Amino acid sequence: MGGKKVIIISSSPRRGGNSDILCDEFQKGAQEAGHDVEKIFLKDTKINYCSGCGFCNTNNYTACSQKDDMNEILENIIKADVIVMATPVYFYTMCGQMKTFIDRWCARYTHITSLINRSNRD
């Protein structure tokens, strides 16, 4: 069996901070195990807030009205077998960077939920 395609999302603004170290260690282990790993440090990307415009809804959750880095990242997420998401705890929940990132999944909502449902079945 070939290696899996793994995507790691590191959302802390602190490069080399605690959760980013965990991402790096995960990446190292997965690569050593023969998997194809891409790590994305969210602070290096341009991801706007979801504007709630409803454009993706009218297009059956397949396209976002905004043109920033999120479109390419979503395409890579859809191709991935494994998605790793790391966040520091900020006021009992995920950090704002991770929430902003997740809100933008809306544009591929139908596709991503079908992938999640499939992996829950496997």
Residue at 108: amino acid letter: R
Stretch that binds ligand FMN, among 60-68, 69-77, 85-93, 98-106 (CB under 6 A): 85-93
- What's the closest the beta carbon of residue 24 comes to ligand FMN, in angstroms? 11
Give yes or no for residue 44 binding ligand FMN (CB under 6 A): no
Regarding 15 and contact with ligand FMN (CB under 6 A), the answer is no
Structure tokens at 65: 């009205």
Q: How far apart are CA 70 and CA 97, in angstroms?
A: 13
Classify each residue of 104-119 as buried b or exposed e, where b means 16 or more C-beta atoms within 10 Å of its C-beta: bbbbbeebbeebeeee
Taking CB under 6 A as the criterion, the residue among 7, 12, 64, 105 binding ligand FMN is 12
CB of 15: closest distance to ligand FMN in angstroms? 9
